[in-house]
Structures are given as structure tokens and as C-alpha cells.
Amino acid sequence: MFFGVPITGATIAFFVLALIIIASGVFLMSLQKVMHMALALGGVFLGVAGIFFLLGADFVAVVQIMIYAGAITILMVFALTLTQTGDDTEPSGHIVHKVVAFLVSAVIVVAVLLTVKATPWPVGQVGVQPFGPNVVAEIGKAMFHVYTIPFELVSLVLTVALVGAAVIARKEEE
């Protein structure tokens, strides 16, 4: 027993992944060079993908790796290199500002943690693969039968956003 949690393979995997995520997040907030921050971001995203694998959500984990760890991290690196202004270190802000921001975040996190601890969560039948053997087929059915209209709306939003991004980022002609 470790903090009241039985030691199994899943528990060890969870603690290792949580350590990776939190350490990468703290590195992200403490590193000074922006390019190193982008690399730490990849660590956070890959750790979250590992958590999804642990929860039996294989498809979401693979999507997370492809879109977040692949596309968004690379996009951020491109944006960081395109908007470089000479010194690539982050200017340190006002100390009072940082202390207040830290206090606000800490109060919110502690309140959420206490609520999570105090709430009696209903416990269902938990298996290693609760979603069944073919998660992808289930997701496909849910998307195209139950969530058809939200799915179409998301595709519309994506199209509008990508066209809008191309228009905004285009160099204005004289």
C-alpha cells in the first residue's frame, strides 16, 4: 500500500505518467528559453496520451499524439521561430504579479483537490477495457448516429477557422 493505493502495474504506470506530466509542466513554467518550453510541452502532451492509454481510450490517445504532440507542438515551434525578437529569453515580470497569480492558481487547485477528496464518487464495474474490444467502432457509431449534428458543426467550425486563419495570417497587399 502506498498512500492508501494498492501497488499494481496500473498504479505504477499512473504515478510515472503523472510525474512526467507534472515535471514537464513545471519545467514549462520555469524554463527561460522559449524553445525549451516547446520541448517540455511535448512531454506534457505525450504524458497525457499515456494516461489515455491507461484509461483504455486507445483511439483518443492516438489522436492526442497525432494532433497535440505532433501538429500543435510543431506549429508552436514554427510560431516561436517566426516571432523571434532577438533575445529568446522570457523577460521576468513583476514579482507581486507572480505571487498573486500563484496564490490564485493554488487556491483554485486546492479547492478542487479538497472537493475531489470529499465527494463520494459512485463506483461502477471497472475493468481494464471498460469500453469493449473495439473502441473505434463504438466511437464511429456514436459520432455518426447520436452526435451527427455536433460532428457536422465541428467540421464547419474547423473549416471556418482554417480559412479565417489563412486570411488573417496572409500578408496584406498594397
- Tell which positions 36-55 bind other proteins, by CB under 8 A: 37-38, 41, 44-45, 48, 51-52, 54-55
Q: Which is nearer to other proteins, 162 or 173 (CB)?
A: 162
Please identify which residue in 7, 70, 143, 148 interacts with other proteins, judged by CB under 8 A. 143
Q: How many residues bind other proteins (CB under 8 A)?
A: 84
Say which residues have a Cβ less than 8 Å from residue 70's Cβ, sequence separation at least 6.
none
What mask, x for binding other proteins by CB under 8 A, covers residues 14 to 33?
A: x---x--xx--xx-xx----
Please identify which residue in 2, 83, 87, 173 interacts with other proteins, judged by CB under 8 A. 83
Note whether 17 and 51 are within 8 A (CB).
yes
The CA distance from 82 to 41, in Å, is: 18
Please identify which residue in 93, 133, 149, 173 interacts with other proteins, judged by CB under 8 A. 93
Query: Which whole-number Å values give the CA distances from 122 to 64, 116, 132, 145, in the listed order?
Result: 28, 12, 21, 28
DSSP 64-94: IIIIIIIIIHHHHHHHHHHT--S--BPPP--
Is residue 69 within the footprint of other proteins (CB under 8 A)?
A: no
